[in-house]
Structures are given as C-alpha cells and as structure tokens.
Amino acid sequence: MPAVPAPAVDMTTQPRPVYVIGAGPGGLAAAAALRARGVRAVVVEKSDAVGASWRRHYDRLHLHTTRRLSALPGLAMPRRFGRWVSRDNVVRYLEKYAEFHELELVTGVEVTRIEPGPEDEGGWTLHASGGRVLSAAAVVVATGFNHTPRLPDWPGLESYAGRLLHAADYRNPRPYAGQDVLVVGVGNTGAEIAADLAEGGAARVRLAVRTAPHIMRRSTAGWPAQRSGILVRRLPVRLVDRLGALVARASVPDLSAYGLPRPATGLYSRVKEGAIPVQDVGLVAAVRAGKVEPVAAVASFDGAEVVLADGSRITPDAVIAATGYHRRLEGLVGHLGVLDERGRPRTHGARTPAEARGLYFTGFTNPISGMFREMALDAEKIAKAVSRRLGTSPVPADTHPGMPRQ
C-alpha cells in the first residue's frame, strides 16, 4: 500500500529553527530527518523549486546507483521508476519527498553569508537576499556538489571563435545532428554525453582525455557496481586497487588500441583523490565501433581551432566541456576557516568543525558507494547530532509520516 502522511506536527513554537540551505536531495533528507527527531528545520532554496540541479541535467541521465539504494530517509522510490531511475523521476521523487514529509520550504531566497550569532545567544546568523537576516540554532549547508559550472583557464579561450558550452547546458543530441563535436573530459558526464551524441546522429564525436579513466560496468550478472563500492570502501586502498584491476581486466575490454589505455594508477587511489570511476552506459561500445574517438587533452584555443596536447589542431562545430563544477562555498562560509585549499568542507555529516560548532555539511563528497545513499546516511547522523545538541525528542512514529525510529 502507498505510504500516507500523518497529521502535521507543529514545531513552529521553536524560537530558532535549524536552517537547511539547499533543496536538493541532501538538504531535503536532512530536513526530514531533523523533523523526525522533533527539530524544526526550514529549507531555504534560491531557485523556485526543489531539485534545481537535477532539473538542469541532460535528458538521458539516469542514476548510476540502484533505486533501492538511492532512497532518502522515510520514503522509498516507487518500483515503477525501474532499477536505474531517470532524471525526470528523480525530480518527481524529490517533489513527492518534500510534500510527503511536509517540509517547511522557502524558495526564491538565497543565503549569501553565514556568521556566528550574538555571543549571548550562540547559534548562527544568516544573511539572505532581499536584506533578510535569519537566526538559526544550527545550519546544514547542502548547496550541492554540482553548483557552478567550471571551465579551465585554457589559453586563448576568451577569443575562441567557435561554439563552446559547458556540459551543464547540454540537453540532448538533436542540435548536433550531422555535426563534428568535441567533448572535453572523460568523467561520467563526458563519457555519457559522448555516447549520447554518437547514438543521436552527430557526424563525428571526439573525446578529449587528459587522464585515462577507470571504467566499470554498471552491473555484472545483476550485481550492481554500487554494492561492490559499499563492500570495499572500508578496505585498505592498495587492496581495493588490486581487486579493481582484476575486475576491470575480466569485465571491461582493453581500449588501448583505440586511444583509451587502462589507467596507470589504482581505482581506489583515484577515488581518494576525488575521481570516481566511469560507469559504462554506452562509451565502450561507441569507442570500439569508432563512433567516439579518444584524442589528446585540450591545450589551448587559437582562433577557431582547438589545439590538443599532442600538437594537433582541430576545428569542431561545437565543443562541450564536461569539466566539472565549483562548490562556490567561499562567499558563504570561507571566512569561517572551514574549507580546505580546494574550497571543500573540511568536515561532513555529523562532524562539525571545532571552530564552527553547529555548522554541518552534506552532499560535498562523491563516494563509490553512491551519493544518494551517503546523503541519506548523513541526514540521519546530522539529525541525531543536532537533536542531542538542542535537547529535542523524536516525534512519535504515529504522528510523523514514514520515518523509521532508530
């Protein structure tokens, strides 16, 4: 039977709520878990709806993690979504999730800076658009892994005469039918866009590769790669590197003859550096069929030409840069000393910085065990820590929709 929400629990008498910044999966999960523990949580989202970044992703996108292992706390994903959930169904799920858990959601408001609250009150002061000043008992920052598109500082980029767009602006292959397209970057996004273009009628698709990626099958004999990631994530890095090499040789063809060699560094060593393996959803077949041509990395731009690292020059009709994103946390919390040299939070989940007690981060890692799964776990841990800190009690299960009690 479908889950039915219980009557709302009034938490508005709490003088200072916990503010959750960002209405993506991490922020919604944290808010629902906090609410289940009797903590008033207000989600503040700068766009006009939940799941803003998911709405902007390309049409073909599906979760690379299974439906069962991607659900957020308190609400399963419907079976009709299939094993690998599509972008549109992720958005539907997030909309339903906010409705089902009756989350307090404020849209169209951007929090621009977080500062410690008054000494006599503690907590945090949030400065937001429209001159708003908000007082928070604690803050969960969930503004997202894919926040602001990043373009490398390529020489000649500003004067490039060709067509260049970031992968964030790619939707489907229709505009590129019959065209020569260069995709830059061989992470999961670049690999999937290249395969999408090859299948969708582009005349030529080249894939600029700076570092050879680890490629994994999304599922082998029904066993998803995500489950392997969950099993090995606590094992020694060198052991997982060796296991990963064995699995790759047994399950993924050697593409060296096509210009895409096996990587020289270990799979888990790369994960620890922030590089997630590529889940094969069409790239291997496209490369072997000659529909996607791996080429050297982009070195610079010169007029209408793209100069590659091997010295060759090409003139594609379009360049799609799958070159990642900035977290863009510096303006929000950079002055608090909570970011590392790469602009990433030094802590995540239930761990809060020693110099910023009551400030939490979720959704800024990309683990091989699955981002949705880890955000769900983080949400429960954050809620438990905040509840303990504020001295609140869990909401009885019969008055809260669907959230399991621990």
What pLDDT, in 10s, does the model give residues 3-25? Answer: 444 444 455 556 799 999 999 99
Pick the closest to residue 304 from 123, 182, 143 (CA basis). 182
- Cβ count near 347 (within 10 Å): 15
Query: How far is residue 181's CA from residue 201's CA, in Å, rounded to a whole number?
Result: 11
CA–CA distance from 36 to each of 170, 376, 402 (Å)? 38, 14, 9
pTM confidence score = 0.90
Which pLDDT belongs to residue 272?
83
Helix axes 87-100, 25-36, angle to 10 degrees: 20
- Cβ count near 247 (within 10 Å): 17
| DSSP 8-class letter at 394 | P
Pair of tokens at residue 390 = 């504020």
Which pLDDT belongs to residue 400?
53
Would you mind telling me the total number of residues written for the chain in this entry? 406
Pair of tokens at residue 170 = 């790619």
Which pLDDT belongs to residue 1?
39
Pick the closest to residue 216 from 168, 259, 170, 270 (CA basis). 270
Query: How far is residue 188's CA from residue 281's CA, in Å, rounded to a whole number?
Result: 9
Instruction: List 295's β-bridge partners, or say none.
Output: 208
| DSSP 8-class letter at 360 | E
Query: What is the separation of C-alpha 181 from the centre of its chain, rounded to a whole number of angstroms?
Result: 26
What pLDDT, in 10s, does the model give residues 201-210? Answer: 999 999 999 9
Q: What is the pLDDT along the chain (406 residues), one digit of tens a residue?
A: 344 444 444 555 567 999 999 999 999 999 999 999 999 999 999 999 999 999 999 999 999 999 999 999 999 999 999 999 999 999 999 999 999 999 999 999 999 999 999 987 889 999 999 999 999 999 999 998 888 899 999 999 999 999 999 999 999 999 999 999 999 999 999 999 999 999 999 999 999 999 999 999 988 888 888 888 888 888 999 999 999 899 889 899 999 999 999 998 999 898 888 788 999 999 999 999 999 999 999 999 999 999 999 999 999 999 999 999 988 899 999 999 999 998 999 999 999 998 999 999 999 988 888 999 999 999 999 999 999 999 877 766 555 555 543 3
Contact 188, 212 (CB under 8 A): no
H runs (alpha helix) in 52-137: 52-56, 87-100
Q: CA quadruple 199, 201, 203, 205: dihedral positive or negative?
A: negative
CA dihedral (405, 93, 47, 381) in degrees, to 10, reads: 20
Which pLDDT belongs to residue 398?
55
Element (H, E) at 294: strand 293-296
Contact 16, 136 (CB under 8 A): yes
Query: Please, which residues have CB within 8 angstroms of residue 223's CB and are 6 or more apart in sequence?
Result: none
Instruction: List 361's β-bridge partners, or say none.
Output: 141
Contact 195, 337 (CB under 8 A): no
- Cβ count near 55 (within 10 Å): 14
Which pLDDT belongs to residue 201?
94
- Please tell me the number of Cα atoms within 13 Å of 267 on its side-chain side: 26
Pick the closest to residue 137 from 119, 124, 150, 153 (CA basis). 124
Pick the closest to residue 194 from 366, 204, 274 (CA basis). 204
Which amino acid, 254?
D
Ordered domains of the chain (ranges, CATH): 18-147+327-399 (3.50.50.60), 150-321 (3.50.50.60)
H runs (alpha helix) in 223-370: 225-232, 237-251, 267-272, 283-288, 330-333
Which pLDDT belongs to residue 394?
76
Instruction: List for the chain the helix, strand, coil content (%; round to 5).
Output: 30, 25, 45
